Amino acid sequence: MKGRRVVVTGIGAITPIGTGADGLWDGVIANVSAVRAINRFDASEFPSRIAAQIDDFDPGDHLDARRARRLDRFSALSVAASRLAFVDSGLDRRRARDTTGVWIGTALGGIAFGEEQHAGFVARGVRGVAPTLALAVFGGAGASNVALDLGLTGPSVGNANSCASGAVAIGQAFAAIRDGTVDAALAGGAEAPLAPLTFGAFAMIRVLSQRNDDPSRASRPFDRGRDGFVMGEGAAVLTLEERDAAMRRGARIIAEIVGFGASNDAYHMTAPRPDGRDAARAIRAALSDGQIAPERVGYLNAHGSSTPLNEPAEARAIRAAFGVLTDRIPVSGTKGLYGHALGASGAIEAAITAMALDREILPGTCNLEDPDPTLDLPLLRSATAARVDAAVSTSFGFGGMNAALVFARHD
């Protein structure tokens, strides 16, 4: 390994299928989609009117009353998920203060809150705008609020690498611990995009599913009947630690993170490079970074956005990265459960991948009823018990951004 070893010791999640590590995992095993008709706002004018909402998230359940009132939904999700991850890890906040960093990725950050405040400005002028607006819409707001809330004085980094943001945040935090910049990190992604204009921007370019009469079956990764992704919201944060320090304090180790790779298609803002060449480079780079032979990989959690364009490119990327080994690597896409939470998706899927190694169960692919034969992947329809050595999680996003993470079972 290059430098120090890095392990996952805590998971915090707030998603449409469950809260906390156990809640998220229970939702994965239940294999029931959370996609429903939108009731957060009037979506009747849009061609897509469905989403994966979190209907039971109350910031006041996780934060003190003053902070819950001041934070917008994006930052509240970031802080709440980070608190859950921190508690799950058992880290001592006082000892971790100066040696722990925060990396939070998001595609859109506080844009939905900005949209809400603009409506107030149009209706009532400056008196209709919350004084916290300027503090909510910059890209680093999530990471900064986590650092403030937990009193962590290590690096605080926000990124906006589209739908790869959460995976990139975890990869960057992993590198910082391995290199000795910090000893621990809270890393993941958060997204709160369910507001009329924000949602409508995606609906208008027709990348969203229009299966409005059958929402629970709308998000269907790798299925022949997929017609677009379903927007979701959520957050997931992983506590990462230097392995020796985690073992000395008797931490419960969920998995080891061993490799990270990234690339850009440099091809198109919304469409992936059709041959998957550069996405494959990200996967190979992650394997090389972790010195993991492709033969050791026993599971791949795919980006699987449920779009007609992206999944053929992803299938080609997987096959280009693993060659003939592809046929023996089980693949699933979990967005059929909770939709596509944009920048948070890579973090949610990283959490699921780490838990799959720890709990020795590989997730299925919700709504995979008629697998697209042109994709030629060994797809899992339902959860399967399996003990594997290593697993890969992939994330791809607008702007041609590609990221891959490699996790290993920790003995």
pLDDT of residue 288: 97
pLDDT bracket for residue 236 (50, 70, 90):
very high
Largest Cα–Cα separation, the chain: 63
Q: How far apart are CA 234 and CA 263, in angstroms?
A: 25
pLDDT higher than 60, residue 376:
yes
- Name the active-site residue from 62, 303, 366, 410: 303
pLDDT higher than 60, residue 272:
yes
pLDDT higher than 90, residue 95:
no
What percent helix, strand, coil does the chain show, rounded to 5?
Answer: 40, 20, 35
Size (the chain), residues: 411
Q: How far apart are CA 55 and CA 69, in angstroms?
A: 18
Respond yes or no: is residue 366 known to be catalytic: no
pLDDT of residue 231: 98
Respond yes or no: is residue 340 known to be catalytic: yes
Residues 6 or more apart whose Cβ sits within 8 Å of residue 21: 10, 11, 12, 13, 84, 88, 351, 355
pLDDT, one tens digit per residue, over 108-165 is: 999 999 999 999 999 999 999 999 999 999 889 999 999 999 999 999 999 999 999 9
pLDDT bracket for residue 220 (50, 70, 90):
very high
Q: Stretch 265-273: mean pLDDT, rounded?
A: 94
- Name the active-site residue from 163, 268, 366, 410: 163
Q: Stretch 357-385: mean pLDDT, rounded?
A: 97
pLDDT of residue 411: 79
**Matching residue, tokens 């494959």:** 280
Residue of 189, 137, 176, 179 lying closest to 344 (CA atoms): 189
Q: Stretch 171-186: mean pLDDT, rounded?
A: 98
Which residues are registered as beta bridge partners of 8? 240, 255
pLDDT of residue 94: 86
Residues 6 or more apart whose Cβ sits within 8 Å of residue 198: 108, 111, 112, 115
pLDDT, one tens digit per residue, over 322-345 is: 999 999 999 999 999 999 999 999
Residues 6 or more apart whose Cβ sits within 8 Å of residue 77: 14, 57, 142, 190, 191, 192, 233, 234, 235, 344
321's tokens: 């990265």
Domain ranges of the chain: 6-248, 260-408
pLDDT higher than 90, residue 176:
yes
pLDDT higher than 70, residue 1:
no
**Matching residue, tokens 């022949």:** 224
Q: Stretch 286-311: mean pLDDT, rounded?
A: 97
Single-letter residue type at 32? V
**Matching residue, tokens 């298609």:** 265
HSE-CB at 15 with a 13 A cutoff on CA atoms is: 37
Respond yes or no: is residue 410 known to be catalytic: no
Q: What angle do CA 235, 379, 397 make, to 5 degrees?
A: 40
pLDDT, averaged across the chain: 96
CATH 2.60.40.10 is the classification of domain 6-248: no
How would DSSP label each residue in 351-393? HHHHHHHHHTEE---TT-SSB-TTT---B-SS-EE---SEEEE
Q: Stretch 202-220: mean pLDDT, rounded?
A: 96
pLDDT bracket for residue 370 (50, 70, 90):
very high
CATH H superfamily, domain 260-408? Thiolase/Chalcone synthase (3.40.47.10)
pLDDT higher than 90, residue 2:
no
| Measured CA distances, 7 to 10, 303, 332 (Å) | 9, 23, 23
For strands 18-19 and 6-15, give the pairing.
Answer: antiparallel
Report phi then psi at 216, rounded to 5. Answer: -70, -15
- Name the active-site residue from 62, 118, 340, 410: 340
pLDDT of residue 160: 96
pLDDT of residue 93: 86
For strands 331-332 and 234-242, give the pairing.
Answer: unpaired
The pTM score is 0.97
